[in-house]
Amino acid sequence: MDLVFDMTRTATPLGEIAVRLVFAVVCGAVLGIDRELRDRPAGLRTHMLVALAASVFTVITFELYAEAQKLDSGGSITADPIRIIEAVTAGVAFLAAGTIIHGRGSVTGITTGASIWLAGATGTACGGGYYTIALLVLLLAVPILYLVGRLQWRIKGKEK
């Protein structure tokens, strides 16, 4: 029984971790639905998975940091949790860059790449328990993705 307890022991209550992960998935869905409706290569599932992965890495970062602090009574262990978040940022940026296509004098996929990057950032906020920041991001991003996109379409349609 001790083995099972050790496997589930976390500094953050498991219920809180579950809320963080679910909130990240919901945020990823909100960001990804626009890309899905526009039939882009990286749509709903991609955004949800990116947000979830970023959230998991952030939760694990906090857990590892808490564990290191607990084990280090003499101050000999140094830990920099920001490094894991930097690695997540780089990984998400790599994924986002893969959606950008340059060819025949045009570039496509930039908005999809940016929304994937934002899904990673939002997932990181959720993983850290910063729900207000994640909601503010959605309040800003949703109008940009939906309303500004339609405005651009109208402007471009009138220019032709």
Mean pLDDT of the chain: 87
Number of domains into which the chain is organized: 1
63 Rama class: left (phi>0) / alpha (psi -120 to 50) / beta: alpha
Would you state the structure tokens that stand for residue 62, as one six-digit string? 């906090």
Beta strands in 27-124 (DSSP E): 101-103, 106-108
Give the other-Cβ count within 10 Å of 8's Cβ: 8
Contacts of 88 (CB under 8 A, 6+ apart): 53, 54, 57, 58, 120, 124
Q: Distance between CA 12 and CA 18 in Å, rounded?
A: 10
pTM of the model: 0.86
C-alpha 65/C-alpha 35 separation (Å) is 35
160 has pLDDT over 50: no
Distance CA 96, CA 108 (A): 12
Domain that holds residue 148: 2-159
Tokens of 3: 């083995």
Tokens read off for 89 = 């940022």
Q: Is the pLDDT of residue 6 over 80?
A: no
Q: Per-residue pLDDT averaged across 98-104, rounded? A: 80
Place of tokens 């991003």: 141
Residue 145 in this model has a pLDDT that exceeds 70 = yes
Q: Which of 57, 59, 29 is nearest to 44 (CA)?
A: 29
